[in-house]
Structure 1
Amino acid sequence: MAGFPDNFQWPECECIDWSERKNAVASVVAGVLFFKGWWIMIDAAVVYPKPEQMNHAFHTCGIFSTSAFFMINVVSNAQVRGDSYESGCLGRTGAQVWLFIGFSFMLMFGLLIASMWILFGAYITQNTNVYPGLAVFFQNALIFFSTLIYKFG
């Protein structure tokens, strides 16, 4: 499953040779998405500084998404496949479990669902201004997509 995006081929464009720049483009796109996610959340925190408008505990989703971003990208695809990681305390299985914990319900998916819960539970159903809830959701969604692009790009 981890090798699926490696086999994906874009249509060829003769004007630009992307084979040399694939990693650079993926890194830049992932960085821009990561930056935009945090920028939206910082904007919401500045516009709505009072705890009645935006609970400060809602920032924990973004903080844990950021830690999951680093947790997922610490493990390379070669380590997950078992190509370059033979020694260590857990070997290939440990790398796969670490990646699973990062992507699974414990972190990235759980935080994305938690941000949706914050959006609907704290803002849409309460008939208040929904921008802080949208900021929490978009921050986590953009960090999630940034993680995918950086990992598999």
Structure 2
Amino acid sequence: MSGCLDNCGECCSNISCTCGIIDTDWLAERRNAISSILAGSLFAVGWWIAIDVGAVDSDHFSKAYWTCGVFGTIGLLMVNAVSNSQLRGDAYVPGALGTSGTRVWMVIGFLCSFGALIGASFILFGEYVYKKIEPSYPGTGFFMQNLLIFMATIIFKFGRVEDSY
């Protein structure tokens, strides 16, 4: 599944930096750490924005708007709970339902993530933009939260590589 970013280190290694600022070997060696830190930072900032919305404008939104962030977080956990080798069927222990069960789990995780993003889009555009409710910060905040959680999900899943040990 991480095949779309597997050649990232190879394409960067052909670039010669005459100034000596960028060390492409260092980036290729620490790809897992960089993508994990970036995904974790995006996730933390997303929830920070939602907590800020709750602290600043708690009177201007329904308490049900928090469910989008919760489902986005559940989607992040579901998508990243399975390894790429389990999806391909290369795992030593296939699990309870095997490769097809792992793929169904992954699809359900992505559905949770997409559903949370679509729900946050409806909150922003259906409730705050269309009805022109002021202030629109709660709608923008919850949308940004779910967008950042979705980006963290994608970066954490496809930005890392699995080394065979």
TM-score calculated relative to the size of structure 2? 0.83
Q: Please identify the structure whose Cα radius of gyration is greater.
A: 2
Trace 1:11-50 onto structure 2 (pairs within 5 A).
11-12=12-13, 15-16=22-23, 17-50=26-59
Aligned residue in 2 for 1:65: 72
SS at match of 1:143: helix
Matched, 1:117 2:118: no
| Structure 2 alignment gaps of length 5 or more | 160-165
Cα contact 1:30–1:145 (8 A) shared by 2: yes
Q: TM-score, normalised by structure 1?
A: 0.89
Q: CA deviation at 1:88?
A: 2.4
Q: Percent identity?
A: 43
Letter aligned with residue 57 of structure 1: A
Q: Report the Cα offset of residue 85 of structure 1.
A: 4.5
In the TM superposition, residue 66 of structure 1 has moved relative to its aligned partner by 0.6
Deviation at 1:7, TM superposition (A): 2.9
Q: Which amino acid aligns with 1:54?
A: F
The 2-side partners of 1:11 and 1:29 are apart by: 19
Task: For 1:33 and 1:100, locate their aligned partners in 2 and report how far apart those are by CA, in whole Å.
Answer: 22
What is the CA–CA distance in structure 2 between the aligned matches of 1:97 and 1:72, rounded to whole Å? 10
Unaligned runs of 5+ in 1: none
Cα shift at 1:11:
2.2
Moved over 6 A (4+): none
> Partner of 1:69: helix, strand, or coil?
helix
Equivalent residue, structure 1, for 2:62: 55
- Output the CA distance in 1 between the equivalents of 2:49 and 2:143: 10
CA distance in 1, matches of 2:2, 2:43: 24
Pairing 1:68-83 to 2, within 5 Å after superposition: 68-83=75-90
User: Which 10-residue stretch deviates more, 41-50 or 11-20?
Assistant: 11-20
Q: Indicate the SS of the match to 1:113.
A: helix
Shift of 1:146: 0.1
Residues 82 and 6 (structure 1), Cα distance of their counterparts in 2 relative to 1, 3 Å cut: farther
Q: Shift in Å at residue 87 of structure 1?
A: 3.3
Match of 2:162 in 1: none
- The answer to whether the Cα contact below 8 Å between 1:86 and 1:92 also exists between their aligned partners in 2 is no
**1:98 aligns to what?**
105
SS of the residue aligned with 1:117? helix
Distance 1:3 1:152, change over 3 A: closer
1:86 to partner: Cα distance: 4.2
The total of aligned residue pairs comes to: 148
Distance 1:89 1:39, change over 3 A: same
